[in-house]
A and B are shown apart, each in its own frame.
Chain A
């Protein structure tokens, strides 16, 4: 009897299930299975429907230039928990085509567009395969290994021009135009009009002819320069009177090709760059990246470092959530009173980060196998006073301040609903997923660091509206404080680093996917090493980027004034969306 019950943590042996369609990935340091592209849809559909792999976490591509191959890498999970099932599809570089998984998992939509945009992999059957981060008409695919940026100097850092004959120059002085824009041949920026706008307007749903009132459909651009979008983010909506029929997010205004920069950097040099992804939560970003590289290197941080890491990650979660609540209220029109109350608490936490790492926001605090500096007893005392005394009081105050407020409830309850099925299919993660009734938290589903030893509950709410996304952040702040109290109580003495600090770490060849439960959701880093000092591939599964897939489901049928609040409740940071 018990044999028939599938064990959650067990990965099915795909070779037995799909003979001659699937083969194990036998390259040293690699895991998972290689699937022929003609069998991909069939295999994935069965995995989803029969084996419970209902959550497509990450889709990305890798350019294996020396072998003349492209590869698409899929990370599938069960929302019940357990490790990843990694699938890969290989294809020749000249003919990078693969069937799109959007019909099975809508969450693949943006990620496949990203892989098309940056690597030129064509996803057949994708409903809207346009560039997403770069602009339409951009020349080339920047993440391909043979693509070079306008300020290109060398394939990999450190650059030879810096030492021992480092005669300084400015990169822009070497560029005859004085800027870093590269145009495709025959392109005239003076006469060019962006074709992607046309494309967006065309695919937007309009009011149907049979409508009683024959109301005209109105297309409105919210953003990119709009204070409610928390940065430069644009939403194109089609409206029937005030009701939203369809919505298309447009992003990429802050795009800097973080991943290409990451592949030019050495492994360690990447650490401060991860700070700049979600610039509110640099500690969590460090955490995810450190985990991925440590998996490859096979090192484990000492006990004290683990405690410090969790302490920093939970403080980060607290400050992110209190900040998100404050700014959600800004979006609702309670201009800056709740936000400033939130910033006060954030300020005290940032003081701790500054004392520990040297910087308030760009912490750059984690190292492979530990952390950069020890936490002194007086800083620990400060944290203790905060987490035992002040912060619990302030969460309660926030609760008293907002939760029962009729205006907040009127604006939030029942607005922007995302059902559990939609949330899973859209690969939503973090508070967005859990507010829709799916108790999925990486800290519990696949515990990392010392989370398996800590006592806390996975917060979950069931309505999936803005109000629940607000409440869940309050719940999670309380759980974070619970974790912090345990950490501060139990933190052991000892070293903070395994081995000696090195500036050139040796990373054996292979791949690793490190993921953490960041404040915004599942933050994953996919790193491929070929044994050189620089990563061959470095990919970020950015939670705010993928959570935006759900925006259209939440916004459809809502009023245009609510979109601002809905976007605020997803809690995005454009530094991470656009990367």
Chain B
């Protein structure tokens, strides 16, 4: 297995051979599975969330539903899977097995207690079997046990209390895994920080309804005739994940390291998460879709990117985009532009004309004889909608061009 010097990093004082971990989910369910992911190249694992075993965990059947866009499958994935249904001892034994056989890989134990005592017990037991780190699951949006998972984040004081219980029990670093299903993710984070958390993981799945059966009116997945608003993941949620990580990175009252996840399946996704402030990364849905093998191209792709940019250490990239993320009131509104067309490459579909008519500034007319759009720059809003639908995108034949001194374009009153 290739080792990438540039990808080595230190996170919460722990040395990672690369920053990419499996996140806590079906893909990190057993020691045997995780071992194979390590052999494939993952740098660590956040093991499937362990419970103390007092509450019986039963996974609903079926537990997942794919969300497709046109012919593209698994753009998103909805699930109602619970925390681990295995005996606590089996899970702890697997953690020990992994630490013993893959000593250079990082083992993060994800835990979820239903009482303060359980949080303490789970934390201690994990530390005792050699976990490098803990992740506190305050964020599963579809626990069938009342008052757990995301519900803890909604009663924010509990986040602080449970974090403090854990921190007072163990010496290893503690991540709090946060839910995006809340008005301001930095508020929950502040409670975790005050409880002593060393860093944050975001995001857990986005609460969603990904589909309703037209024949039976039942949301998917259809669990014996009912569905639930439950966790949605995959490429569709990446923009939400990036936003949450950026919010956590920017919040002046936080300032803690971040582990980013939500829709990562290639090296570009991974770099983006680093740029908005993630120090490590986690993946589930990409593996559910393609298997552990995706790590090969994520690592190689990241390494080649760093090489191309002349960056020797991945850590130098973390948060580089954060200063460029501003509230919209800080935009320079004096800079305006237009859509510039490379007409020689136009194939003549007219989609630009349609959207300019129906969704933009009506700056295009259509030359029927030649089947080509005709641009009237003086009325172009520079909104670029046309470029989003133009099929000549490789490279784009419609580009944004700044027009110095361009004056405001206001549509006339309809008559």
Chain A bound to chain B: no
